[in-house]
Structure 1
Amino acid sequence: MAIDWGDAPAWSALGLSAVGTIIPISSARSSRASARSAEISAQAGVRQAAAAEEQVAIARESLRLAGGQSASSHAPTEIEAVQEALAQEPPYVAWWIEFKGHYLYALCNIGTATARNVEIDESRIGRGCSFKGQLKTLQMAPGQERRFKITYWWPSQRPRELWVRWQGHPEWKAIQVPLKG
C-alpha cells in the first residue's frame, strides 16, 4: 500500500494515534511517581510516630529521675502532679455518625467523657433537606447513640457533614455523614 503524502485524514489519524499512545504512557509514569511519594510519606509518618513515642519515654524517664533527686527538696508534689498527669489520659468527647439505613443515622459518642447539652446546627444541613430527631439539649454518655433522620429531595444532595457543639466545646465541630454503611 502506497502512502499518499497529500492524504490529510490519514496523517491526522496517525497523529491522533501517536498522541493516544503518549498520554497513557505519561499517565502510567505519573501514577508510579505518586505511588512512590505515598510510600515515602507513609514511612515518614511511621518514623514520626516512633520519634514521638521516644520523646514521651524520655520525658517520663527524666521526670522519674528528677523525682528521685528532689526527694530531699521541697518540690516533690509538683513532680508527682506532672507524673500523674502523664499517666492518666484526660477524658474527651469524640463523635461518629453511623448509617443505619434509608435516611436513618445514629450520632455516637465514641469518647471517654459524657457530653452534655449537645446541639446540632440545623441551619447548616442545607436547602431541600429536613432533619428529624431528638438531639437538642441532651446528655450522651460514652458509647451511647441517638438516632435521627435526614431526608432530602432531588435536586438537593445529602449533607456531607453535621455540625455539633456541646458544653465545654462552644465552637461548632463538623462530623462527616457517611453515604452508606
Structure 2
Amino acid sequence: MTVEWGDAPAWAALVVSVGAGGVAWRALKHAKTSASASEISAQAAVRQAAAAERQVELAESAFEAAKEQAAKSHLPVDTDATREALTSPNPGYVAWWVEFKPKNRYLLRNLGSETARNVEIDESRIRCAVRGDTRADTVPPLASMELLLIPAYGAPKPNEIWIRWDDHPEWVAVPLPA
C-alpha cells in the first residue's frame, strides 16, 4: 500500500495521530508532576507522624519525671487522667492534605485525628489572587477549608501553601497538587 501525495484522508489521519501524540505527551508530563507532588506530600505526612511519636515519647518521659518528683516530695498526686491522655493508644495529631478541585479550587483537609484550632494560611507567600477561607477557628478531623487560587496578570499559582495552627505556631509548608 502506498500513500499518494494527493490522498487527503491519509493526510488528515496523519495530522490527527500527531495531535493525539502531543496530547498524550502533555498528559504524561502532568501525571509525572502530580506523582512527584503526591510523593512529597506523603513524605511530609510520614515526618509529621514521626514527630507526633517523638512528642508522645517526650510527654511520657516528662510524666515519669513528674511522678518521680511527686514521690520524692511525699505529696499525693492524682495522675490517672494524665496517664490516660499520654498513654492512650491513639494520641491526637494534625496532618494536612490539599485536594485539587476544578476551576482553581483547593481543599485544605485535616487528615489527622485531632481538631486544629485557629488555623491560618500565610497569604503573604501566595503571589496570585486568593479567595476563600484563609483563617478558621476550628478544622475537625476530615474537615476542610476551601481556597480559590487565581493565577491572573502573570502571578503564578504557588507550589505549596504555608499554614500554622495553635498546636504548631511555626509555619508548615503543605504541597499543592499540580
TM-score for the superposition, normalised by structure 2: 0.50
Which whole-Å deviations, capped at 9, do the CAs of 1:81-106 have from their partners, x for residues lacking one? 88985552210011001001111110
Conserved 8 A contact 2:160-2:176: yes
- CA 158–91 in structure 1, closer or farther in 2 if over 3 Å, else same: same
Partner of 1:143, secondary structure, is coil
**What's the Cα RMSD here?**
3.4
- CA 166–83 in structure 1, closer or farther in 2 if over 3 Å, else same: closer
Residues 1-181 of structure 1 correspond to what in structure 2 (within 5 A)? 85=86, 88-126=89-127, 129-153=128-152, 155-179=154-178
Conserved 8 A contact 2:119-2:166: yes
Which whole-Å deviations, capped at 9, do the CAs of 1:138-161 have from their partners, x for residues lacking one? 211001012110011253322000
Distance in 1 between residues matched to 2:83 and 2:121, nearest whole Å: 37
93-102 vs 129-138, which deviates more? 129-138
Supply the AA of the counterpart residue of 1:97: V
- CA 170–83 in structure 1, closer or farther in 2 if over 3 Å, else same: closer
Distance in 2 between residues matched to 1:122 and 1:85, nearest whole Å: 35
TM-score for the superposition, normalised by structure 1: 0.50
* Structure with greater Cα Rg: 1
- Unmatched 5+ stretches in structure 1: 1-76
Distance in 1 between residues matched to 2:84 and 2:132, nearest whole Å: 44
Partner of 1:123, secondary structure, is helix
The higher-RCO structure (CA 8 Å, 6+ apart) is 2
Aligned residue pairs total 108
Identity in percent: 39
